[in-house]
Amino acid sequence: MVVVWPPPSKVDAVIPIIEQAMENRKRFLDKMQKLVPSPSPSGVYTLFHHNLYVSERISDVKLLFTRLAENRRLLTELTQKEGQLRPKKRIYKKTLSKKLQTVVEKSHDMHHQMRFDMEALFIFGNLLLDHWAYLIAYLVGEKDPELFHFFRLADYLQKKGDKGLLEPLWDKHQKDMLWLLYQIRNYRNSFIEHVADPYQRGTSMKTYGDDFSLTSFTSPHLITEDEVRESVKKIKHLVPRWTKSPGTNWYTDHPRQLLEVTFFFIDEIKEKHQREDVWKAWKIVGGAPFSYDMIAFRLMRFVSESTLTVLDIITQHPDKIRWGN
């Protein structure tokens, strides 16, 4: 397997996959409307409202991604302008020129806006996954579908045994579901909304390019580099095979980098308890999840493609649909 690391930019691929997701949603809605029994059962609007919530959240993700991509390009332009305005020889305590101050302040404000939108992408991305899970639960006739959020759905499908009507969903989309479970749901839960530990929170980006990600590292006052190495050593048997190939020792020689790579490929790890071990190490050490474009791309690819899978399921089993409470 040929692996490019870090993963290449997905900025240009996100909007097309969002548009495809919206188109698939239209096909899905048309099918739902045709399948409604006559006379309409009591509470039928419940199912259609959940479908509407999914569409709303797709629009939210599109808005956030578009703003992040535009502001990232602006940050690059501001960085270039700052380099042009900054004096080659710096004089101690000399006030910056007004033009340079304006650029620096604007860059700071733009950076703050991107951090805010990046956190919102995790929050609204998680809401999209939850609404999608509720909708699926209604469509396959699950008991108490309103309790079937994304975490519960993914946890249920990870278990061995018969998955009923959801078998095709798991067979075709398990990697995306597992990746999103850790990269969006778990990260949002532990590092954005319910931050219980004193992580050093910030952002990461190259000077030029498309990337922008959040960072949450455990404070060096709380963890030593020896403890970092020990935490990563416990999951070293789970690292991607390609990191052990000749010429990739940079990854294996640096525990934090090795953990980051392993976390990115967490959907390749077969056993749930092993994936949980990687997540535990991530929570102990901290790190940088992936750029907004990769998060948005994997999320919307799952929504787009799984929509067609579920469309096939309800076409074959319309009698299982739970139209309302």
Sign of the C-alpha dihedral computed for residues 48, 53, 55 and 56 taken in this order: positive
Q: Count other C-beta atoms under 10 Å from residue 92's C-beta.
A: 4
pLDDT band at 89 (very low <50, low <70, confident <90, very high): confident
Residue 1: per-residue pLDDT? 56
pLDDT tier, 283 (very low <50, low <70, confident <90, very high otherwise): very high
Question: Considering only CA atoms, which of 312, 322, 306 is closest in space to residue 150?
Answer: 306
Q: What is the pLDDT of residues 285-320, one digit of tens each?
A: 999 889 999 999 999 999 999 999 999 999 999 999
Task: Return the pLDDT at 324.
Answer: 78
Query: How distant, in Å, are the alpha carbons of 82, 100, 106, 121, 207 from that of 85?
Result: 5, 6, 14, 33, 16
Bridge partners (DSSP) of residue 201 are: 216
The arithmetic mean of pLDDT across residues 191-211, rounded, is 90
5: left (phi over 0), alpha (psi -120 to 50) or beta: beta
Lowest mean pLDDT among 3-12, 101-110, 157-166: 3-12
Q: Is 190's pLDDT higher than 90?
A: yes
State the average pLDDT for the chain.
92
Examine the pLDDT at 93 and tell me if it is beyond 70. Answer: no
Q: How buried is 103 (Cβ within 10 angstroms: 0-12 exposed, 13-18 middle, 19+ buried)?
A: buried
User: pLDDT at residue 155 above 90?
Assistant: yes
pLDDT digits (tens, 9 = 90+) for 131-144: 999 999 999 999 89
pLDDT class for 75, splitting at 50, 70, 90?
A: very high
pTM attached to this predicted model: 0.94
The pLDDT of 152-158, averaged and rounded, is 94
Single-letter amino acid, residue 147: L
pLDDT tens readout for residues 99-128: 999 999 999 999 999 999 999 999 999 999
Q: Which residue has the higher pLDDT, 197 or 200?
A: 200
Whether residue 198 is predicted with pLDDT greater than 80 in this model: the reply is yes
Q: Please give the pLDDT value at position 207.
A: 85
Q: Which of 41-55, 83-97, 102-116 has the lowest mean pLDDT?
A: 83-97
| Buried/exposed 235-263: b ≥16 CB within 10 Å, e otherwise | bbebbbeebeeeeeeebeeebbbbbbbbb
Q: Is the pLDDT of residue 92 over 70?
A: no
Residue 224 has pLDDT above 60, yes or no: yes
Q: What is the mean pLDDT of residues 162-188?
A: 97
pLDDT digits (tens, 9 = 90+) for 14-40: 999 999 999 999 999 999 999 998 887
What element of type H or E holds 287?
strand 286-287
pLDDT of residue 51: 92
Closest CA to 236 of 268, 204, 281, 206: 281
